[in-house]
Structures are given as C-alpha cells and as structure tokens.
Amino acid sequence: MATNSNSRAWLGTRLRITIVFALLSTTVCLILGLIVSDLFYKRLNDAMDEELTALSSELSTFVDLLDKTSDLEAWKNSKSRSELKSVVSISLFNEDGKTIETYGDFVLPKIAANHSEVNVRGQRVRVLSRKLDYNGKLVGWLQITKFTASRDRAMSELLNLMGLSTPVLILGFMSVGYFFAGWTIRPIEDAFSIVKRFMIDAGHELKTPLTIAETHSEALEQELMDQRVSIKRLGTVRSSLKRMEYLIDDLMLLAKSEAPVFLKLDHSIDLKQLVQAVVEDFSEKSRAKGIELRCDFANSVIVHGDQEYLRRALSNLIENAWRYTETGGSVVVAGARSADEAVITITDSGIGIPQDALPHLFERFYRVDPSRSRKDGGSGLGLSIVQTIVEAHHGRVFVQSQLGHGSRFTIKLPTC
C-alpha cells in the first residue's frame, strides 16, 4: 500500500518535471520560431525590394519624359517573353502626379511614395516609387508594383511546416524530459528508500529494549506497590535503557558520517600506542570470560587521522572478537607496516561466520544470528560503523572467516 503510494508520488514528480521540461523547451522553440520566421519574412522583402530597385534603375535609362515617345514600349521591346512574364506593373507619372503611361494589369492610379505595400483590386502588391529629374528639377515619377503572392506562399509554407512540426517537437521534448526526469530522480529515489529502510530498522531495534523496559517497569511498579522491592527488574530496565543509548549513539554517529567532513584527519597517530590502549581496555573483560587477549605490534606506525574515531573502530572489532569467542579461546590484535600501509589484524578463535553471510557483514543492522547477537547486546551497526570510519581515513576493511574456526578482520590504512 505504502509502496504503491510512494511509486505514485515518484511518478507524479517525474511527470511534473517532464511537463516543466516540455513547456520550457516548447517556449524556447516558439521564440526561436518567431525569430526565424521574422528574419525569413524580412529576407524575402529585401529580395523583392532589390528586384524592384534593379528594375527601376534599368527602366530609368529608357525613360525620357521630355520627348513624346512611349518609353515603356521601348523597354518592353528590349525584353524577351520569359523576362516579361515574371513581372509587375509599371506606371509613369508627370511631376503633377498625372498618369502618362502604364504597363501591366495592376497599376496604381496614384503615386504611393509613402507605402511599401498596397492592395490593388484585391491583390497585395509591393510598391517602389522613384522620382525622375532632369538637371536637378523634378519631371515625373516611375512606379513599379510586384505581387507579393510568391513571398506569402513561401511564408505560409514555412508557418505550416512549423505548425505541423510543433506537436511532434512537443512529444519529442516530453519523451526526452520523461527519460531525463527518471534519470535525475533515480538517485534521490534510491537514497529515499535507503533512509526509509534505515528508519524502519532503527525503529524496530529501538522497540525491543523499549518494550522490555516498559514491561519490567510496569511489573516493578506493581511489586513496589506490593512492598516487595525488586532489584533484579531494575537491572533489566537499566540494561535495556543502556542498549537504547548505545543504539542511539551508533545511529547518530552513522547519521553524522553522511556529512562531507565528519572527522578531522589532521592528527598524527601512533597506531601501536592506540592499539595497545584499546587492548588494555578489554583485558579485564577478557580475563573475566576466560579468553586470552594478546597484542602483537612490534614497531610504531604513524597515520594521519582522528584518534577518537579510530579507537571506536578498533573497539568495535575487538568487542566483536570477544563477544563471539567462547571461554578458552583467544583474540590476537597484531599490527605492522607493509609498504606504505599500516595493517592491523584482529584474529579470534571464535564461532566463525558462514561464507554466505560474509558479503553482507558490513551492512547496517545485518546479523548472522539475530537472536544471539541481540541477546549479547549487539546492535548490528558495529561493523558498518567500522567500515565508515576506515573508509573516511582512505583505508579498507575486510574479513576472512571459517565457520567454527574463527575470524580475522583486517584494516589497512595509508601511512604518513
């Protein structure tokens, strides 16, 4: 149910991104389309104007308004049939604007010097009006008109093409947007599921000690009311609360480790001293359980790192070795420098780990035997914390183990 509504929410987000992408791309295309069609229109008009200007220059050599012969007739005779076909209408006016001579069917009755285009008998024409002078004195006007039909046809073809391709483009943009939205959302979706899984596991882990503490405190209340003080129950409540405290500490450490810089690596640390100190911390516990705990670290090895976090990583591994080794067994913590690496191994003769569990061992909340490690106070976060700390020090941690024969955890850290 929750998964369904989650995937619907992700799909909704994906569709929203797709629509925004498609709208933006379509707007950009429309603006580009407007610019292109405007440039195209201007270019076609310029071409017509150039043609009219060239023709007017050519005609002006034939026109002589002072003699009474037909100037246009002379020009017409100089032209071939095919040349005359492409045109146009021509009018000659005297200086008072009276028509002297015309050629073609769509002549204007008046001089239209202030217009670039006019309608003549329902047809749109482009106009060029040119003054004719003799010795600096205005003697008349030459006016040429040309149909705009071919330009309008070219424009409408362009607009049709743009109109037809727009839906195809929008669909194309939507598909590309849908693909990219999926690609962008995927890591967020994955991170979200990891956080969700983590919250569920953490909640589950916290619930067990909380329920125990609750049950025992209720019983304790009852017993106190009966005037029979129960110290044993108080101990159980305290250990449950302690377990929750450890768990919350671990969770906070892991949450902090998501920050880009969660520890300072600028201290020089003598690993030999650090390992000896941690082993010393466990000596009393090991004696009490009947386990032989040995430190085998010959020479000092210096690394750059965060002492507190490295101590935490080593403690987690030695604690596990202690926890999963039966009485009479041994735990050896050894260290040495190998090339430019510090190598620390924690070897125990404990219960060992099945081969199929090894790939999952460093996952959060993973336990080989959940009932056993929970009973022993393990949170299932210890190894995950070790890995986070070691990797933050640019090192590696790995495990070798044989069921029933013991395990060896190895940490490798770059040396100074």
Residues that bind ligand ADP (CB under 6 A): 316, 320-321, 324, 348, 350-351, 353, 361, 366-369, 373, 378-384, 407
186 closest CA partner among 17, 68, 320: 17
The CA distance from 170 to 177, in Å, is: 10
Compare residues 236 and 407 and give the one whose CB is closer to ligand ADP. 407
**Least gap, CB of 348 to ligand ADP (angstroms):** 5
Pairing relationship of beta strands 292-297 and 330-338 according to DSSP bridges: parallel
411 closest CA partner among 273, 303, 328, 260: 303
What are the backbone angles phi and psi of residue 161, rounded to the nearest 5°? -60, -45
Compare residues 202 and 361 and give the one whose CB is closer to ligand ADP. 361
The token pair that represents 76 in the structure block: 């017409």
Compare residues 312 and 367 and give the one whose CB is closer to ligand ADP. 367
Compare residues 111 and 278 and give the one whose CB is closer to ligand ADP. 278
Give the single-character DSSP code of 404.
T
Q: Are 159 and 165 in contact (CB under 8 A)?
A: no
The token pair that represents 382 in the structure block: 């210890």
The token pair that represents 59 in the structure block: 């005609």
**Least gap, CB of 316 to ligand ADP (angstroms):** 6
The CA distance from 151 to 158, in Å, is: 11
Compare residues 14 and 367 and give the one whose CB is closer to ligand ADP. 367
**Least gap, CB of 378 to ligand ADP (angstroms):** 3
**Least gap, CB of 197 to ligand ADP (angstroms):** 16
Compare residues 291 and 321 and give the one whose CB is closer to ligand ADP. 321
**Least gap, CB of 175 to ligand ADP (angstroms):** 45
**Least gap, CB of 260 to ligand ADP (angstroms):** 24
Compare residues 209 and 350 and give the one whose CB is closer to ligand ADP. 350
**Least gap, CB of 373 to ligand ADP (angstroms):** 3
194 closest CA partner among 363, 65, 37, 382: 363
Query: How many other C-beta atoms lie within 10 A of the C-beta of residue 115?
Result: 12
The token pair that represents 300 in the structure block: 């000092």
